[in-house]
Amino acid sequence: MYLSTISPVLDACALESAQLVVSRHNNAIMLTQKISHIEVEEAKRMFEHCRNVVIVTHASADGDAIGSSLGMYEYLRKKGKDVRVVVPNYFPDFLKWMKDADQIIMYDRHYAKAKMFIERADLILCLDLNEPKRMDNLADPVVMSKAKKMMIDHHLNPSKFCDLTISYPSVSSASELVFRLIDSMGGLSQLTKAGAEDIYAGMCTDTGKFSFNSNDPDIFLIIAELLKKGIDKDKIIRNIYNNYTEGRFRLLGYILSQKLKVLPEYHAAFFTLTKDELNQFQYLKGDTEGVVNMPLEIKGTKLCIFLREDTEKPRILCSLRSVDDFPANKVAADFFNGGGHLNAAGGQMPCTLDEAVEVIYKALDAYKDLLQA
């Protein structure tokens, strides 16, 4: 049951800004309430009045996108809703162990089916994305839909295209926000073991196995609650991180021995991959996941940038990772048509790989003082 410590005489503004403490009646968990009481009540109302729900997320969905989507899928199915998950395109093979991952509809491959479910939806949930363009071609049918829309996200600067926007950039992951919302609505009993596995996987991947953006004690209270659902967290980690192809390991060796450029004068590193190089190692979606973090293990390195030719469209995909307070998201916004979190950001560029490398050096020159600080 949702218990609020805020007096009912407080006005709506106070309710929205106040920091609440939520405790379930059995005292099993006590979290600092990040989602406002008004947002919780509005979300509860929207869930009560919907029947056909479509959950969407960003293109090239990662662990948090799939984990939050399937976690919410499990919860809403348990509540008797007709729920579909639609993603813009293919998602990594190492996430397909999740229950009902085989039910996810890829918009670029099953356009008519996805369009049918979107058209009949009365509620669309936009998870782990802050603006329509992150859905690529899926954006238009979602934005044009007459269904009510709810955003649950943790990226900066959310676009105002949803009826309810639950956006908290300080939270580790969209999966954590999904858990918090379910808990705040008093729905934890309706979160299945499979849903708990999905949420743990999303939180785990978006924090690098809880090695960054994970100093909030609440995260570990949430993990404890997920463990009570019967999840095997060690097996989940093995399913995610010990589930790659041989080609992934040979590609990794190639990157580290042949492609990695370390620039100690900038306290930075970068590497690039062409489509031909990816094909040489039988590239599968997700094979480069996490590699951009590895050069940050080099002493003194504050920033790493990874550029690769997209295998599906004529563009360069950019991933940026940083440590401490160096703003990878600002570099992404200033130079790579992107954005993201302080230490994890991305972007894309409509140019050649050589031209994108030139942009890297311009970015490093622009941020040289901060990199050397």
**pLDDT value at position 24?**
44
State residue 43 phi and psi, 5-degree precision: -60, -45
- pLDDT digits over 7-59, tens only? 333 344 443 443 444 334 344 468 998 999 999 999 999 999 999 999 999 99
Residue type, 295: P
Residue with tokens 């839909």: 145
What six digits make up the tokens of 106?
């890829």
Residue with tokens 């329509």: 132
Distance CA 229, CA 150 (A): 27
Catalogue all structural domains in the chain, each as residue range(s) with its CATH number.
Answer: 12-241 (3.90.1640.10), 246-372 (3.10.310.30)
Segment (H or E) for 125: strand 123-127
- pLDDT digits over 56-79, tens only? 999 999 999 999 999 999 999 999
Question: CB–CB of 339/156 below 8 Å?
Answer: yes
Which residues make beta-bridge pairs with 149? 124
- pLDDT digits over 144-171, tens only? 999 999 999 999 999 999 999 999 999 9
Distance CA 317, CA 293 (A): 16
- pLDDT digits over 260-286, tens only? 999 999 999 999 999 999 999 999 888
What six digits make up the tokens of 114?
């996805």
